[in-house]
Amino acid sequence: MDIDQDLLKRAYNRDESALEAIFDAYYPALYRYLYHHTGHIQTAEDLTATVFHRFLEQIYSDKSPINHLSGWLFRVAYRLMVDDIRRTHVRDTDPLPDDIPMESIIEQTVMAQIQTKQVYEALSELPDRQREVLLLRYIGELDLFATAQVLGLNVNAVKALQHRAITNLKNILMLQGELS
């Protein structure tokens, strides 16, 4: 997922329709990415809003121009998330939606919830960088170049990191009986 360079150029020219398009395109992905890190809806939304505020500050000031929008947005999101975790240490996460009355749930939903919990647990066992590359690629839907920008790596290093992360995640899930 990437926004056309033309959209970014229009944003620099104070075109509010371009800003709106950027917000609509990136808010859901940034929110999902931050939610899977913080486990807290309100925090994820506050941090997402902060990313967009920083974006406005960047384009309305004389700071260095943004060259790659998705990479820039997710890099800011990543830094905000790290700061937030450092500051709050431990925060109660919103509960996984497992308290819905059984009679109202179809079997598929229950299975999806079990899978979700297992994936969460498996992800939490991965080293930080490996977990990060998977969240950026699959939750943030970033391409390799943008992911490399966020993590401060080159594209080949991201490929290698992603390969190791997937192998490890598969092994953990297989142990859980998920992919066996």
Partner 1 sequence: MTDPMKDVFDTLNQSTPEPQNMAENKAIFMATAHRMSVTSEKLARHQHMNANDTKGVLPMKLRFNRKRVSVLVALVAILTVAGGVLANSIFGFFNQAPTDTSNVQITWNQVDMENIQMDVPAFFYTLEHAMSSTEYYSKAPQAVPSRYQFYNATYNASSGDLSQYYQCETSGITLSQRPLQAGEVFGGVEVGASATIIPVDIGDGGEYVRGGWLTDGNASTLVLDSSAMTNTTTNVGLTWSNDIPQHTLMWTENGILYTLQTSVTQGGCNLTQADILAIANSLK
Binding footprint of partner 1 on the chain (CB under 8 A): 14, 16, 19-20, 23-24, 27-28, 31-32, 35-36, 41-50, 52-54, 56-57, 60, 80, 84, 87, 94, 96-97, 112-113, 115-116, 119-120, 134, 138-139, 166, 169-170, 173, 179
Q: Are 114 and 168 in contact (CB under 8 A)?
A: no
Buried b / exposed e over 35-53, threshold 16 CB at 10 Å, is bbbbbbeebbbebbebbbe
We find the least distance from the C-beta atom of residue 83 to partner 1, in angstroms, to be: 10
Nearer to partner 1, 114 or 155 (CB): 114
Nearer to partner 1, 12 or 156 (CB): 12
Nearer to partner 1, 86 or 102 (CB): 86
Nearer to partner 1, 2 or 45 (CB): 45
We find the least distance from the C-beta atom of residue 150 to partner 1, in angstroms, to be: 17
Q: Are 126 and 157 in contact (CB under 8 A)?
A: no
Nearer to partner 1, 84 or 132 (CB): 84
Q: Which amino acid is at 84?
A: D
Q: Are 84 and 35 in contact (CB under 8 A)?
A: no
Task: Write the DSSP string, 77-116.
Answer: HHHHHHHHHHHHS--PPPPPS--S-GGG--HHHHHHHHHH
We find the least distance from the C-beta atom of residue 105 to partner 1, in angstroms, to be: 13
d(CA 74, CA 33): 9
We find the least distance from the C-beta atom of residue 2 to partner 1, in angstroms, to be: 18
We find the least distance from the C-beta atom of residue 32 to partner 1, in angstroms, to be: 5
Q: Which two tokens stand for residue 72?
A: 């820039």
